[in-house]
Amino acid sequence: MVVIGGGQAGLAAGYHLRRQGLDFVVLDARATPGGAWRHAWDSLHLFSPAAFSSLPGRLMPAQPGEEYPEAGHVVAYLSDYEKRYGLPVRRPVQVTGVHDEGRLLRVETDSGTWHARAVISATGTWWRPFLPAVPGRGDFAGRQLHTVSYRGPQDFAGRRVVVVGGGNSGAQIAADLAYDTELTWVTRRPPRYLADDIDGRALFDAATARRRALDAGRADTAGVASLGDIVAVPPVREARDAGRLKASPMFERLDRDGAVWADGTRAPVDAVIWCTGFRPALSHLAPLGLRGRRGHIATVGTQAADEPRLHLLGYGDWTGPASATLIGVGRPARDAARAVAELLDASR
Ligand code: FAD
């Protein structure tokens, strides 16, 4: 049994596979624990308090002085989690392809080959940043980067910066840049903040309620989308309340010197930061020929619809409600481990 990816989703899978008494290995491409959290920008804060950001079995301890923990705190928690449960993580091991070999799946990596009766893929999305096809993007002479390469405002002091994106990354990075740069924050529609007194816990509840409604054949509650897009974590709230987080409509195109809006308005720009999201990192599964709409793989729960030996964990709500969150991944991880145990039992 092979788990691909040793971030929070891979570790949650490991916890439940161990409880099922299964023999497995977790292969992770990074040299150190923590998954994507280790690569986040300096000021990133979780959008839920620690106790509501926990993996199965062990509460995340509070971070002294911070209601919403920083990314470094999550890395420490995941490192400890991995050690505490003695999870067999091999790193750095990059999986390059999963192949159907009849009775077994062959997992090819840059450090050898594994043969597995089942595979859980938990490779996240951070590794596949998405940039929209905006006209003129290639003509712009200034700096362009995606969320994944942003570190902090020190790199942009005094610069004219455009932050693109009305989600949590866009709002947090815009808030980060709101004091020391000439900031323009552009969003496709006016930013929608969750009420200040609700946070990531409400997102989790909404995602779960939606999944239950859909499973029971009831009307779509619109889940998280019904609440708003942006959690008003303290730095976002401060910048917004100080009047420094004013969003402009999305520009129509870039030219050599900056952004151009549909009404002909132009703004010279030094840097564009694309906070425009991610896609699931699934290229290692391409040899199985399962990819469907939007690069996703059709699933029933976590199980690939056309390959019962493959489960997908994390990534987004399509692999379980809130499964791409710390608190949400536990339940689908448990379901995946149970399904794998049943499958292996049946095929003995
Ligand atoms: P990752 O953390 O990306 O881990 C995947 C692991 O798989 C990595 O170590 C990677 O190196 C490895 N890998 C990838 N490809 C391969 C391969 N081919 N072979 C071997 N290994 C591979 N969630 C919350 O609960 N609370 C929050 O506040 C929150 N804030 C977020 C803020 C941002 C900006 C983002 C982007 C996400 C946030 N999330 C939050 C969502 C989610 O919790 C994180 O994205 C989390 O990192 C997802 O964990 P994961 O294990 O699915 O993926």
> pLDDT averaged over the chain?
92
Residue pointed to by tokens 């596979």: 17
Strands 182-187 and 160-164: parallel
Check whether 219 has a pLDDT greater than 60: yes
Query: In testing the pocket of ligand 1, which one of 2, 325, 329 has its CB within 8 Å of the most ligand atoms?
Result: 325
Name all residues whose Cβ lies below 6 A of ligand 1.
Answer: 4-10, 27-30, 35-37, 46-48, 53, 94-95, 122-124, 126-127, 168-169, 200, 281, 284, 314, 324-326
Mean pLDDT within 24-50: 94
Query: In testing the pocket of ligand 1, which one of 123, 230, 273, 312 has its CB within 8 Å of the most ligand atoms?
Result: 123
Global pTM reads 0.92
Tokens read off for 269:
């720009």
Tokens read off for 201:
């816990």
Ligand 1 centroid, distance to 123 Cα (angstroms): 7
Mean pLDDT within 116-139: 96
Count, in order, helices (H) and strands (E) of the chain.
6, 18
> Which residues, other chains included, contact 179 with Cβ-Cβ below 8 Å and sequence gap of 6+?
153, 239, 244
The CA distance from 323 to 302, in Å, is 10
**Residue 208's pLDDT band (boundaries 50, 70, 90)?**
low
